[in-house]
Structure 1
Amino acid sequence: MLTADLIQTRVYKGEVRPRYVDPADPERLALAGQLIDLFKAHVGAPRHALEEELQALLGTGTAFLFHRALAKLLRDRCRFETRSPVPPEELRRAVFSRAAACYQAPEDDSGRRFRLARDAILAAAAEDLELTPQQVEQGLYADLKDEQVLEEFRPCTPRWLLDRYNVALAQGVLYRAVALTVEVGGQSAARYRALFRKIKFFQLMHRVERLDDGYRIHLDGPLSVLKASGRYGLQMASFLPTLLHFDGWRLEAELRWTRARRKRVFRLKAEEGLHPHNRLTGVWQPEELRWLPERFAELGSAWNVSTDAELVDLGGEGVLVPDFVFAHPNGVKVLMEVFGFWNRGAVRSRLQLLRRHGPKNLILALSKRLAAAEDDLDELPGEIYVFRTTPLPRQVLKRLEAFL
């Protein structure tokens, strides 16, 4: 991800347009290759050594924004660690204790009390810790950011880095979105299922309309969420690379641009050629839900739980992508949808849709912080489960038994 100061855009007739680069440009490819080689060469070196080398390349003016943006993306591919045989705080404690003892030593023959011999103190501390003086000196402040060592750098090609830069520009723009509308069509059922699962994985507040050849998805933007805008903005931006795996889509976002929060619009479509930097695989659920199937199985009930659910059409007004499907040996099947990172308005709208078109075999799990008034929960199909932080397997089982 790029920070706001590294996002280069222009505004034309109210539309924000990122300044994408040509990923085949020889000069930009050469710069990207030079930066990648620099990071590779500093694996095993302290962070300050890498930053000193980068400073000569990156400059400080606006003419070097592109350079600094590439470096930021490469830093995101780094893993820095504190390298010390003993935790640095223990080293400091040993050295400072020895220094204090030296200060408290009795006067010598010349009447001097304070004798601070650095090498002797390091040697004494090293002996206490069964280390060498060199190890003590090197590890003394190894936990400072500049002293941390580049343990791992995930290399990439120059072309990949330039493609990643273009996507990062679009992600940075979406961070300022109030609302986002995506239209996607011409996909298989499996592809639609993958798309909606990813939307739920990133916990994006959404509403779905059925179109003749696909869906229109309305996503609430990070600036529509008050307390959680920072986290939600990252979730929204992280979703964009998933969308890039599909074709036949277009996106329009309503923005609040600059500190003046002026109304602007951002448009993007599949034909513009942005390339995803990840694969359309992996987990489909947030971490707080991922453990539920395993814990549920430990209860030893007759129910089997699965995350492989089909899309359920909600009267052409939306779609239900259950988080879990519970199956009983007698043939009863129950769907479960979890509302986690939603605002109250979105929850109320969703409840109204489920009241009209929701399946009867549904458990609706709703976070307590989002729970609407009791009247909002009346006449809903299936079972309602209001949880505090995360759904509990035993409480889920209790509601499943109501379907037998």
Structure 2
Amino acid sequence: MPVNLPIPAASSLHAVNGVRIGVVEAGIRKAGRKDLTVMLLDDGCSVGGVFTTNRFRAAPVQICRNHLVAGNTRAVVINTGNANAGTGADGLARATQSCAALAKRLNLDATQVLPFSTGVIMEQLPVDRIEAGLDAAIADARADHWLKAAEGIMTTDTQPKAYSTQVVVEGRTVTVTGISKGAGMIRPNMATMLGFIATDACVAPSLMAALARELAEGSFNRVTVDGDTSTNDSLLVIATNKAGHAPIVDLQSPAALVLKAAMLEVARLLAQAIVRDGEGATKFITVQIDGGRTEEECRKVAYAIAHSPLVKTAFFASDPNLGRILAAVGYAGIDDLDQGLIELHLDDVHVATQGGRHTAYREEDGQRVMKQSEITVRVGLGRGTASQTVWTCDFSHDYVTINADYRS
């Protein structure tokens, strides 16, 4: 069961003027599961993306990056059940073919279509099934199909992930709606996750790549489930330019700051939903590092804690074996770290001070916190004023079971 993650209601998701979505079952994955989604964008949208740092990028990631450079994106095609990764030249050809098939039906150029895939690696993409399902997907396209899309892009997710908000920008009501998928093979620098965030705000096309990077840096690059960086992870950000306010041409302008705050709220909720629905997760853990000299060294410490199987299994068992956290701090890669300055808290419980056990700490207090479904680990480095936060989950027996049985 996801950790304190409500199932979104379709009525809570605002339509974004300029985006229509169709979702069908094309037989790409198991029977009875919707697995093909198309997004149809009105002409004049501004689009930006962020993609996996894995050097073994999937074919659709490579095609997406090239097509974004070409500009004037008008459609998106997403399949689940097959990652089209580790498929060589054949995979590139099949991803290109899926773009061409959708483009032909919409009277577009193939470069105006962005492909996304998620699922099993090193299996041929059944592009014939994608092509066979496109007409039905186009016919199904509606502005209010965001929840259907969230369901259609799921793989090992146990429930759909979607959020929506509205904000006033220069006197105009602006909508931000997004969906994501992901539950395993998740770590910073993107992961086996797909994210799609759209707004009807007016944003200059030249700003979209930077906007996508900012949103990813404050959200999807702050989550980790198991430390594995996927071949397919992608975040697409769309501005349809329909809201009617003056175009945003500076990401530091007052209008941009209002819009970015709303978009970052949606992005963070989507990213945190991935952790809350992490494979086999029973606890949602916030790791906050304070007192670093730089944000980079704070991130190193946070990720060392959040990636540690020993730390994560201790949280699953509610076992206050908290020396594992101190050990992770020590191997995070800060060469001149002074352990005598380290402070460790679990929520309100002061566990360690000046690098050693706090005299008032009792193991039953640590266990009390570790039994909670939501926990905050706070580490003070005593080196400066920088801070960073990441979100992770525990490791349970179910994580092994899910991944051992993934292809069956």
Could you state the TM-score of these two structures normalised by the residue count of structure 1? 0.26
Higher-Rg member (1/2) = 1
